[in-house]
Amino acid sequence: RSFEIATAPLEADRRRGALVVLRDLTDQLRVAQMRVDFIANASHELRTPLATVLGFIETLQGPARNDAVARERFLTIMRDQSLRMKRLIDDLLSLSRIEGRAHHAPSAPVDLVDVARQITGALRPMATDAGVDIRLAAPAEPVIVPGDRDELLRVVENLVENAVKYGDGGKRVAITVTTRAAPDEPRREGAAKPEAGGEDAGQAASAAPSEAVIEVRDFGAGIPAEHVPRLTERFYRVDAQASRGKGGSGLGLAIVKHIVNRHRGRLHVESVPGEGATFRVVLPLADASHAG
Ligand code: ADP
């Protein structure tokens, strides 16, 4: 542990002494280190595609100046790398915007069924291109949570995109929206860290529903257990090469975690390697406080 030691001479009533103040700096140092790591990671993530783009510009101005075929190919690569940089910058901005928002929970009524439908529709073409079938199972009536619609769209979009990207081989992504009574376990403060292991949703089946659950499940390679607790760290990836190759910024789940936290929700991750992964977001229902 690190301590800051401040001393001051003390001279009162002709008695001599010293005042020693010990302040634990461990947390401050950890935060400072995280900031340094974050900037180093972000710079590295931007530098790599930028170096590629610069390299191809030089080639196009030099040896490949009159090669029409090479020009087309290089321009495509340069566009892809530029899009990667743009996505990263957009994600960095989203993250800082969400972090900078006031700490009170967003409270506009948002229909989670509608959110899930919108994302399912928007991502279906991309999923179909990847040979993945997206299915949505949701109640016919709305499931209203207090929240910010754009942020909740972002949560579901990130989770479904990941399921399509990393669930390769599974050929199927299942999205479900349900409501349930809160399990008996006590709520943990700021518990949007991914938690391995399941919850017993059926525990309090007879009580009135107080929580909405949106679940995104894929049937791909899954996530080895040792990685699960770190998934929502910025730039944390199970396989960095694969993530970058799929256009990932490494910030998607960090953004999801922040939004879920702001909504007083929880994020659970369950995965059996080889069988797939399930990401479950639990949010308080709009009328939960009046439900008794
Ligand atoms: P990325 O931009 O790399 O997708 P995320 O923060 O969204 O960043 O995800 C972090 C990492 O978590 C990914 O790089 C991937 O290794 C892993 N991951 C996320 N979703 C899944 C999933 N459905 N199946 C397997 N691995 C996943």
Q: Which residue has the higher pLDDT, 161 or 292?
A: 161
Whether 119 is in the pocket of ligand 1, judged by its Cβ within 6 Å, is no
Instruction: Give distance in angstroms: CA of 161 to centre of ligand 1.
Output: 9
Chain Cα centroid distance, residue 68: 41
How far is it, in rounded angstroms, from Cα 173 to Cα 152? 19
Instruction: Give distance in angstroms: CA of 33 to centre of ligand 1.
Output: 24
Whether 223 is in the pocket of ligand 1, judged by its Cβ within 6 Å, is yes
Whether 45 is in the pocket of ligand 1, judged by its Cβ within 6 Å, is no
- What is the predicted pLDDT for the residue at 4? 72
ipTM over 0.95 threshold: yes
How far is it, in rounded angstroms, from Cα 145 to Cα 139? 14
Mean pLDDT in residue range 4-19:
70
How do strand 3-12 and strand 276-284 relate by DSSP bridges?
unpaired
Q: In the predicted model, is pLDDT for residue 195 greater than 70? A: no
Q: In the predicted model, is pLDDT for residue 185 greater than 60? A: no
Whether 248 is in the pocket of ligand 1, judged by its Cβ within 6 Å, is yes
**117 CB-side CA count, 13 A:** 11
Residues whose CB falls within 8 Å of the CB of residue 42, separated by 6 or more in sequence, listed in order: 88, 92, 235
Q: What is the mean pLDDT of the chain?
A: 87
How far is it, in rounded angstroms, from Cα 198 to Cα 277? 12
Whether 218 is in the pocket of ligand 1, judged by its Cβ within 6 Å, is yes
Q: In the predicted model, is pLDDT for residue 138 greater than 70? A: yes
pLDDT tens per residue, range 31-62: 888 889 999 999 999 999 999 999 999 999 99
Instruction: Give distance in angstroms: CA of 221 to centre of ligand 1.
Output: 11
How far is it, in rounded angstroms, from Cα 274 to Cα 268? 19
Whether 238 is in the pocket of ligand 1, judged by its Cβ within 6 Å, is yes
Q: In the predicted model, is pLDDT for residue 249 greater than 50? A: yes
- What is the predicted pLDDT for the residue at 128? 93
Whether 74 is in the pocket of ligand 1, judged by its Cβ within 6 Å, is no
Specify the length of the chain in residues.
292
- What is the predicted pLDDT for the residue at 256? 97
Q: Model's pTM, two decimal places?
A: 0.83
DSSP state of 104: S
C-alpha angle with apex 276: 271 to 279, nearest 5 degrees?
55
Q: In the predicted model, is pLDDT for residue 73 greater than 50? A: yes
Least confident of 93-102, 103-112, 179-188: 179-188
pLDDT bracket for residue 74 (50, 70, 90):
very high
Least confident of 112-126, 180-194, 212-226, 273-287: 180-194
Instruction: Give distance in angstroms: CA of 67 to centre of ligand 1.
Output: 39
Angle (deg, nearest 10), helices 149-166 and 112-129: 30
Whether 194 is in the pocket of ligand 1, judged by its Cβ within 6 Å, is no
Whether 277 is in the pocket of ligand 1, judged by its Cβ within 6 Å, is yes
Instruction: Give distance in angstroms: CA of 10 to centre of ligand 1.
Output: 57
- Atom 8 of ligand 1 has which residue's CA nearest to it? 250
- Atom 14 of ligand 1 has which residue's CA nearest to it? 237
Q: In the predicted model, is pLDDT for residue 23 greater than 90? A: no
